[in-house]
């Protein structure tokens, strides 16, 4: 009769070898999957961070551009308005032309409400050139209608605040 104890001993070792090989494959595949997932998360995080930085930089540049154009329009229209109050006609067309050029920039970058307020300022300046002149000897009546830039400034402030967020 053959020795059965030898067969019992060999059979479990084959099964153990298969279990060990299967465990080794599973461990290796798990390690590879973990590495791939880690790399993908790192790439995604880097991309999202870069995208956010680019968007923040673009918004900051756009904010600065709008602010610069608003200030330029306020400066030029203030000078043109004083000129209109004191002169009987447009003696220096360059003042009005530069104001029109800035108005064109506003149309490119500003909201519709801000452009509308700027157009009112332009109209008021041109109307003032052909009104009776400002008398520097007498104190003028000053009220809220004297500030031709108030509405424009308020629209600019609102637009810039909205653009910050």
Count Cβ atoms within 10 A of the Cβ of residue 32 and give its class: 0-12 exposed, 13-18 middle, 19 or more buried.
exposed
Distance between CA atoms of 47 and 29, rounded to whole angstroms?
A: 27
pLDDT value at position 80?
92
Q: Look up residue 88 and give its two tokens.
A: 């009987």
pLDDT value at position 22?
75
Instruction: List, for the chain, all residue ranges whose pLDDT scores fall below the cut of 50.
Output: 7-11
User: Which tens digits make up the pLDDT trace of 36-50?
Assistant: 999 999 999 999 999
Cα dihedral 84, 69, 100, 114 sign: negative
User: In whole angstroms, how large is the CA radius of gyration of the chain?
Assistant: 38
To the nearest 10°, the Cα dihedral for 41, 45, 51, 52?
A: 150
Residue 90: partners with Cβ closer than 8 Å, 6 or more residues away: 96, 129
- Cα–Cα separations (whole angstroms), residue 33 to 26, 29, 42, 45, 75: 10, 6, 14, 18, 63
Count Cβ atoms within 10 A of the Cβ of residue 63 and give its class: 0-12 exposed, 13-18 middle, 19 or more buried.
middle
pLDDT value at position 134?
65
């Amino acid at each position: 009769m053959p020795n059965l104890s030898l067969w019992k001993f060999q059979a479990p070792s084959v099964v153990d070898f298969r279990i060990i090989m299967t465990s080794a494959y599973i461990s290796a595949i798990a390690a590879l999957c973990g590495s791939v997932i880690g790399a993908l998360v790192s790439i995604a995080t880097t991309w999202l961070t870069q995208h956010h930085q680019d968007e923040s930089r673009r918004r900051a540049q756009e904010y600065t551009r709008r602010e610069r154009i608003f200030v330029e329009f306020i400066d030029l229209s203030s000078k043109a308005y004083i000129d209109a109050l004191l002169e009987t006609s447009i003696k220096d067309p360059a003042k009005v032309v530069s104001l029109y050029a800035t108005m064109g920039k506003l149309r490119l970058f500003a909201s519709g409400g801000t452009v509308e307020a700027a157009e009112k300022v332009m109209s008021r300046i041109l109307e003032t050139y052909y009104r009776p002149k400002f008398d520097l000897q007498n104190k003028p009546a000053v009220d809220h209608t004297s500030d031709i830039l108030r509405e424009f400034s308020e629209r600019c402030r609102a637009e810039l605040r909205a653009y910050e967020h």
